[in-house]
Chains A and B, each alone.
Chain A
Amino acid sequence: MTDHLQLINNCLKGKAAAQKQLYEEFAPSMLGVCYRYTKSLQDAEDVLQEGFVKVFRFLHQYNKEGELGAWIRRIMVNTALNYLKKSQKYQYDLLFDQAELHVITRDDPEVLLNAKELAELIRQLPTGYQTIFNLVAVEGFSHVEVGQMLGISENTSRSQYMRARHLLISWITNTSGNKNKVYASK
């Protein structure tokens, strides 16, 4: 934390070396975040770039008490959501329907996939499902918060999440039995 404070102070002074150090420390994990919200690595890098510009622009607003990584991650998530809303190719997929909640299986599989495999599966979800699943399951937001962030009702968020979860579980179950088949096309 002390190192981060020093790093932040140097970044605020406009030192390019410190800025690069901060970027290099957080860019890989943040690109992982961006990757989960988008459908291509190019889009993820665009989000990462835009997010880091915001990080440096608003670094003076960081209160230095919370975790710096969490603060940057929150910026990345918000940037990714804005990117999805602005981008034409994601807009149609982000339309959330008000369908009734489906009954899903309670038998949750054990996730044997590695991180990259799991991320790839999440990215294969429809964008609406993908976004809500990321926000709820990975980021830990409540459905109320997700509803506020996406401009949808809490129930819509909940139902979309359950669908996404059900779909993902079915994929994990299939993929776990035959991993090579899933990744053969990648």
Chain B
Amino acid sequence: MQANDFEKSIRRKMEEFELVPKEEVWKQVSANIRKEDNNRRIFFWFLSGFLMLAGLAGSWFLNRDKSVSITKGAPRENKAPLKTGIRKTPEVAENSDRNQQTAKSSPSITNGSDGKIPANHDRPATKKTAIKIKVQPVKKESSLPAISNKLQGSSVSSASNLNDMPPGKVLKEKSENLPPHKFLKTGSDQFVKNDSGKNGLINKDTKKDSSASIMEKKAAVKKVAKNWKIGFTAYAGISNNSSGLPLVFSPSSADYLSSSSPNQSSGAAGNTFLPYRLNYKTGLSFGLGIFTGKQFSKRFGLTAGADYHFYSARSTAGNKIDTAATFRDSALQSTAFVSNFYLGGQSGSFLNSWHLIELPVNLHLRLNKNKDNPVSFTAGVSPGFLIGSNALYVNSRERVIYEEKKQFHRFQLSAQAGLLFPLKTFKTFHINAGPVFKYGFTNLTKHAAATRQHLVFAGIKANINLK
């Protein structure tokens, strides 16, 4: 028998070998499968629930300002469903009838005795009220004595008195003689009447709304006002490196750069000297960011966010030398390895740029009383972190100019102020924009660099506020 045959024989016999497992094995396998299926199902439902909640939260977030506008624009007490619901309780129904009669008795709201609303009434809620009045006509003559009877002890004792009084007074007179819970209701309606301006007379009819609905409305307004909102912000404008502030040094030979090649003696005759400063000119600047904000009161709000901000400024420099070189700077205690550098001079210009991540915190003060078109003054501070720059550095010892990242303070603190005007309102967001000015308090460069550089930005800031 060959050696290979032994293995073949073993394999053939082992393929025939079978054992019947115990019943418990399948039960365990089955239980494990079910458990895994359940886990998968739980995860699926959890994920679905999470996504659904996220969707609901998102839709609520996007639509919540719509509810505010409804609350502001059309008083909720004029909504038919709410009115219907309140009429179901007998007590409220009684008050409603009384109110309707009172409303009908006023010549301001009715056009004669037929109870029609003037045609120029434009609010939909008001129209619904008018329809209600038509459906339940009450004769003026018969209703007034009924009111007089119900308002026991009231000074309003006749139809003529009611007609002569202004609507507000009718309510006031009534409220003085009502039990406390009815007085509260009347007072609330008075509040609504005043709040809704020209619909004041109609609001006498809307007195049938309960005070709870008004409180609910006020709570909703308050709740929305106190929610955190998020938005996006964008900047565009010009920036500079505080070139207006001269970098003053004593005019010794050390304070000037020679236009000669590096490592040459600076005292050679015929050398032209470069003032020991880089003359900056304004450059373009822009920024993008996200913020969250909260309105603490009618006038004050706070926003905080995170921005990326690009600053740039042009500076003068001499001839560019495209040669790799190593420069030791004793001031910064560093050695720079550069692929090119500039000599002193004014012949060329270089675009310096700075990239910062900033965390602006702004206080908003509303300057006007127009809720729909608020004009705000904003001011705040922006801690920032310099994430990159190609700005030039003047190495006075070597008399060269080159890019040097080690000259900077990474942490930057700036302050900003500006105005925000409402620009445009869309379905899901609105845009505010206005001028803004920002100044960097922190010196851009380290003390050892012996320069004073402050980033300045002036431009337009736009806030995209999600509803």
**Real complex partners, A and B?**
yes
Q: How far does the Cβ of A65 sit from chain B's closest Cβ, in whole Å? A: 21
Asked whether A16 lies within 8 Å of B30 as measured between CB atoms, the reply is: yes
Asked whether A23 lies within 8 Å of B26 as measured between CB atoms, the reply is: yes
Rounded to whole angstroms, the CA-CA distance of A41 and B19 in the bound complex is 10
Q: How far does the Cβ of B18 sit from chain A's closest Cβ, in whole Å? A: 4
Which residue from chain A places its CB closest to the CB of B19 in the assembled complex? Answer: A31
Asked whether B14 lies within 8 Å of A115 as measured between CB atoms, the reply is: yes
Q: Is B216 an interface residue (CB 8 A)?
A: no
Rounded to whole angstroms, the CA-CA distance of A57 and B40 in the bound complex is 11
Which residue from chain B places its CB closest to the CB of A35 in the assembled complex? Answer: B19
Asked whether A56 lies within 8 Å of B19 as measured between CB atoms, the reply is: no
A-B contacts, CB under 8 A, total: 92
Q: How far does the Cβ of B15 sit from chain A's closest Cβ, in whole Å? A: 8
A31-B26 contact in complex given A111-B13, A138-B10, C-beta closer than 8 Å: no
Q: Is B251 an interface residue (CB 8 A)?
A: no
| Selected contact of A140 from candidates B3, B11, B19, B22, CB within 8 Å | B11
A56-B21 contact in complex given A20-B26, A137-B7, A140-B11, C-beta closer than 8 Å: no
Which residue from chain B places its CB closest to the CB of A119 in the assembled complex? Answer: B17
A111-B10 contact in complex given A27-B21, A28-B19, C-beta closer than 8 Å: yes
Rounded to whole angstroms, the CA-CA distance of A62 and B284 in the bound complex is 60
Q: Which residues of B contact A28 (CB under 8 A)?
A: 18-21
Q: Is B1 an interface residue (CB 8 A)?
A: yes
Question: What are the interface flags for A107-146 relative to B under an 8 Å C-beta threshold, 1 for contact and 0 otherwise?
Answer: 0111101111011001000000000000011101000000
A108-B18 contact in complex given A16-B30, A49-B29, A118-B13, C-beta closer than 8 Å: no
Rounded to whole angstroms, the CA-CA distance of A111 and B1 in the bound complex is 10
Q: How far does the Cβ of B36 sit from chain A's closest Cβ, in whole Å? A: 6
For chain A, residues 75 to 93, give those with C-beta under 8 angstroms from any C-beta of chain B. none
Asked whether A31 lies within 8 Å of B20 as measured between CB atoms, the reply is: yes
Asked whether B9 lies within 8 Å of A111 as measured between CB atoms, the reply is: yes
Q: Which residues of B contact A36 (CB under 8 A)?
A: 14, 17
Q: How far does the Cβ of A148 sit from chain B's closest Cβ, in whole Å? A: 20
| Selected contact of A110 from candidates B1, B18, B25, CB within 8 Å | B1
Asked whether B16 lies within 8 Å of A115 as measured between CB atoms, the reply is: yes
Interface size class of B (residues with CB under 8 A): 20 to 34
Asked whether B17 lies within 8 Å of A56 as measured between CB atoms, the reply is: no
Asked whether B30 lies within 8 Å of A20 as measured between CB atoms, the reply is: yes
Q: Which residues of B contact A113 (CB under 8 A)?
A: 13
| Selected contact of A14 from candidates B11, B14, B37, CB within 8 Å | B37
Rounded to whole angstroms, the CA-CA distance of A47 and B13 in the bound complex is 21
Listed residue (B21, B26, B37) with the most chain A CB atoms within 10 angstroms of its CB: B21
Rounded to whole angstroms, the CA-CA distance of A66 and B16 in the bound complex is 20
A118-B29 contact in complex given A14-B37, A45-B21, C-beta closer than 8 Å: no
Listed residue (B10, B15, B25, B36) with the most chain A CB atoms within 10 angstroms of its CB: B10
Which residue from chain B places its CB closest to the CB of A161 in the assembled complex? Answer: B7
Q: Is A147 an interface residue (CB 8 A)?
A: no
Listed residue (B1, B11, B19, B25) with the most chain A CB atoms within 10 angstroms of its CB: B19
Rounded to whole angstroms, the CA-CA distance of A169 and B10 in the bound complex is 11
Q: Which residues of A contact B16 (CB under 8 A)?
A: 115
Rounded to whole angstroms, the CA-CA distance of A56 and B2 in the bound complex is 41
Which residue from chain A places its CB closest to the CB of B15 in the assembled complex? Answer: A29
Asked whether A108 lies within 8 Å of B2 as measured between CB atoms, the reply is: yes
Asked whether B5 lies within 8 Å of A108 as measured between CB atoms, the reply is: yes
Q: Is A158 an interface residue (CB 8 A)?
A: no
Which residue from chain B places its CB closest to the CB of A104 in the assembled complex? Answer: B3
Q: Is B426 an interface residue (CB 8 A)?
A: no
Asked whether B17 lies within 8 Å of A109 as measured between CB atoms, the reply is: no
Q: How far does the Cβ of A72 sit from chain B's closest Cβ, in whole Å? A: 13
Which residue from chain A places its CB closest to the CB of B9 in the assembled complex? Answer: A111
Q: Is A8 an interface residue (CB 8 A)?
A: no
For chain A, residues 48 to 66, give those with C-beta under 8 angstroms from any C-beta of chain B. 48-49, 52-53, 56-57
Rounded to whole angstroms, the CA-CA distance of A20 and B27 in the bound complex is 10
Which residue from chain B places its CB closest to the CB of A31 in the assembled complex? Answer: B19
A27-B25 contact in complex given A14-B37, A108-B5, A169-B6, C-beta closer than 8 Å: yes
| Selected contact of A49 from candidates B2, B3, B25, CB within 8 Å | B25
Q: How far does the Cβ of A181 sit from chain B's closest Cβ, in whole Å? A: 20
A19-B33 contact in complex given A31-B20, A108-B6, C-beta closer than 8 Å: yes
Q: Is A186 an interface residue (CB 8 A)?
A: no
Q: How far does the Cβ of A8 sit from chain B's closest Cβ, in whole Å? A: 14
Q: How far does the Cβ of B420 sit from chain A's closest Cβ, in whole Å? A: 56
Rounded to whole angstroms, the CA-CA distance of A56 and B30 in the bound complex is 10
Asked whether B18 lies within 8 Å of A118 as measured between CB atoms, the reply is: no
Q: Which residues of A contact B25 (CB under 8 A)?
A: 27, 45, 48-49, 52
Q: How far does the Cβ of A130 sit from chain B's closest Cβ, in whole Å? A: 13
A32-B17 contact in complex given A48-B25, A49-B28, C-beta closer than 8 Å: yes
Q: How far does the Cβ of B32 sit from chain A's closest Cβ, in whole Å? A: 5
Q: Is A39 an interface residue (CB 8 A)?
A: no
Which residue from chain A places its CB closest to the CB of B27 in the assembled complex? Answer: A49
Asked whether A32 lies within 8 Å of B18 as measured between CB atoms, the reply is: yes
Which residue from chain B places its CB closest to the CB of A42 in the assembled complex? Answer: B22
A116-B33 contact in complex given A49-B28, A109-B1, C-beta closer than 8 Å: no
Q: Which residues of B contact A138 (CB under 8 A)?
A: 10-11, 14
A115-B13 contact in complex given A53-B29, A106-B3, A108-B5, C-beta closer than 8 Å: yes
Which residues of B come within 8 Å of A, CB atoms?
1-3, 5-7, 9-11, 13-22, 25-26, 28-30, 32-33, 36-37
Which 5 interchain pairs have the tightest Cβ spacing?
Answer: A115-B17, A28-B18, A32-B17, A108-B6, A31-B19
5 examples of A-B residue contacts, CB within 8 angstroms: A28-B18, A31-B20, A49-B25, A53-B33, A119-B17
Which residues of A come within 8 Å of B, CB atoms?
14, 16, 19-20, 23-24, 27-29, 31-32, 35-36, 41, 44-45, 48-49, 52-53, 56-57, 106, 108-111, 113-116, 118-119, 122, 136-138, 140, 165, 169
